[in-house]
Amino acid sequence: MKHGIDYSLYLCTDRRLMTSATIEESVEAALKGGTTVIQLREKDCSSKEFYELGLRVKKITAAYHVPLIINDRVDIALAVHADGVHVGQGDLPCKVVREIVGPDMLIGVSAATLSEAVQAEKDGADYLGVGAMYATNTKTDTRPVSMEELLKIRAAVNIPIVVIGGINRNTLGNFKGTGVDGLAVVSAIVAQPDPEAAARELLRLWKA
């Protein structure tokens, strides 16, 4: 699973924004629309709830042969046999995460500067989430990344990059030709009246 992953359309879940009744429905709709990676992001539930939800979502992503990444929680990622874990700059360092999860699990790292990106690759990250590219209501504590910084990061690292932060059908065209591997989105799929159609449209526009 680790090599040859398609990062084209990378969805981060958000129960506060979703139009679907459950996380599972939101994820399945996105997968039907062609989403290529799912990151399960849960900030406000107990470890037990996160674990149980992770198991249910893993069944769905496995049926679609799409990797499941757990946000922040290395313990949950291991417990549900997720395909990967994604950490931010305030979480456990990538190097430590790699020691815990071993060589086979995917590790994604959020980076907003060239030095963070280079360090993440050095420490064993498999891909980077670079942003926030635009202001977003999904996360309020983000650091803005300029297009210039993104291009510097792309030139400096060899691992895949997904851009995040305010990515939607109106902004995704700005990243064509930058060499990034995909788009990480939240509300552009989960907050739409028809998440499946929204995912399909984003993928079509990105690949066009």
The strand pairing partners of 112, in sequence order, are none
What is the rounded CA–CA span in Å between residue 78 and residue 85?
9
Q: What is the CATH number of the domain that holds 165?
A: 3.20.20.70
Asked whether residue 2 is domain-assigned, the answer is no
The residue range of the domain holding 86 is 9-207
Based on the residue annotation, tell me whether 110 is a catalytic residue of this protein: yes
Catalytic residue list contains 41: yes
Asked whether 59 and 29 are in contact (CB, 8 A), the reply is no
Give the pLDDT score at 1. 57
Determine the longest span between alpha carbons in the chain, in angstroms: 43
DSSP secondary structure code for residue 184 in this structure = E
Domain total in the chain: 1
Examine residue 3 and state whether it is found in any structural domain, yes or no: no
Q: Which of 41, 58, 154, 200 is catalytic?
A: 41
- Catalytic residue of the set 56, 98, 139, 152: 139
User: How do the pLDDT tens digits run along the chain, 208 residues long?
Assistant: 577 999 999 999 999 999 999 999 999 999 999 999 999 999 899 999 999 999 999 999 999 999 999 999 999 999 999 999 999 999 999 999 999 999 999 999 999 999 999 999 999 999 999 999 998 877 777 899 999 999 999 999 999 999 999 999 999 999 999 999 999 999 999 999 999 999 999 999 999 9
Taking the C-alpha atoms of residue 33 and residue 194, their distance in angstroms, rounded to an integer, is: 10
Provide the token pair at 89.
């700059």
Whether pTM exceeds 0.95: yes
